[in-house]
Structure 1
Amino acid sequence: MLNISGLKEGIVIDHIQPGGAMKIYEYLNLEKMDCQVAIIKNAKSNKMGKKDIIKIEGNLNIDLNVLGVLDHKITINIIKDNKIVGKHLLELPETVTNIIKCKNPRCITSIEQELPHKFKLTNREHRIYRCVYCESKFKGN
């Protein structure tokens, strides 16, 4: 059995779809941060069968709601003094920038590389976002 020690202070991103941890690692730009990060892939889960987990040490100043765009089942645990002191339920943001990329080859973002990829939430119930430039649809997990 693999044993990853607990956190004194930080956050645990839990219930990530199996194989999804690296995508979240990249979206949060964790490689640019000077903190310890543990990525656990294919951990056993009673609820999901298998799941990924990311543990991040220290205080983070990140808008974690963007993770709801990628996977709405993710849970966030806030850790202080080795205890869970809060659970953060993800809410879908109204707009997201450079989190998801427009896949339409005719979109202006394909031609103008420096343009930000902006999406607006158009259907909260079905988690559908649309590109603000070309209206292409993105549906979250």
Structure 2
Amino acid sequence: MKIDDVKNGIVLDHITAGKVMEVYEALELDKLNCSIAILKNVRSTKMGRKDILKIDNDFDVDLDVLGYLDPNITVCIIKDGKIVEKKQMQLPETIVNVEKCKNPRCITSVEKNLDQIFYLANRSKRIYRCKYCDSKIERSK
């Protein structure tokens, strides 16, 4: 299989196997007008299996969304066919408008223009809580 190299863009590497479409949808990559390669279940010595996204376009990727979805992701910024920067994701301290509060009594259920803000309550268990009502959301590993 031949996948072209990215000349100027981003490679999202070390995505947990099976999560590439979740990342694709969360970043709204379908709205980009460029080549995007989705590689699923690629062999990896480090992870066993992994997914990879290659985006042949410069765009502002939301690192908080990536860190929330999968803190194992490595973001490689490519310029002129060379990696110029590598970023290792981690769980963000807060996420804004990534999840919606499930509590029907939360102010965000009534006030439609209010940002959905969650803070990291427990890093090891990947638990976030709503800033307004303290409802819990848990991210599976």
Identify the range of structure 1 (21-30 vs 114-123) with the bigger mean alpha-carbon deviation: 114-123
Distance in 1 (CA, whole Å) between partners of 2:54 and 2:48 is: 19
The residue number in structure 2 matching 1:34 is 33
Q: SS of 2:37's equivalent?
A: strand
Report the alpha carbon displacement of residue 84 of structure 1 after superposing the two structures with TM. Answer: 1.6
Aligned ranges for residues 55-94 of structure 1 at < 5 Å?
55-94=54-93
Letter matched to residue 127 of structure 2: I
Cα-to-partner distance string for 1:108-136 (whole Å, 9 max, x where unaligned): 44566554322112334544321123212
1:139 aligns with 2:138: yes
- 1:1-141 matched pairs, under 5 angstroms: 2-110=1-109, 115-140=114-139, 141=141
Per mean C-alpha deviation after superposition, the further-off stretch among 81-90 and 8-17 is 81-90
Distance 1:133 1:10, change over 3 A: same
CA RMSD of superposed structures (Å): 2.2
Give the partner amino acid of 1:139. E
Structure 2 residues not aligned, in runs of 5+: none
Structure 2 letter corresponding to 1:10: G
Contact 2:120/2:128 (<8 A) preserved: yes
Asked whether the 8 Å contact 2:64–2:95 carries over to 1, the reply is no
Amino acid at match of 1:80: K
8 Å contact 1:24–1:67 — kept in the other structure? yes
Secondary structure of the 1:54 match is strand
Contact 1:9–1:57 (CA<8 Å) still a contact in 2? yes
| Counterpart AA for 1:28 | L
Instruction: Tell me which amino acid in the other structure corresponds to 1:69.
Output: Y
Instruction: Measure, in 2, the Cα distance between the counterparts of 1:7 and 1:108.
Output: 44
2-side partners of 1:114 and 1:37: how far apart?
32
The 3 A distance-change label for structure 1 pair 44 and 111 is: farther
TM-score, structure 2 length as denominator? 0.83
Count residues with an aligned counterpart.
Answer: 140
Q: Please give the per-residue CA displacement for 1:23-66, whole angstroms capped at 9, x wherever unaligned.
A: 11111111122222111111111122211111111211233232
Deviation at 1:76, TM superposition (A): 0.8
- TM-score relative to the length of structure 1: 0.83
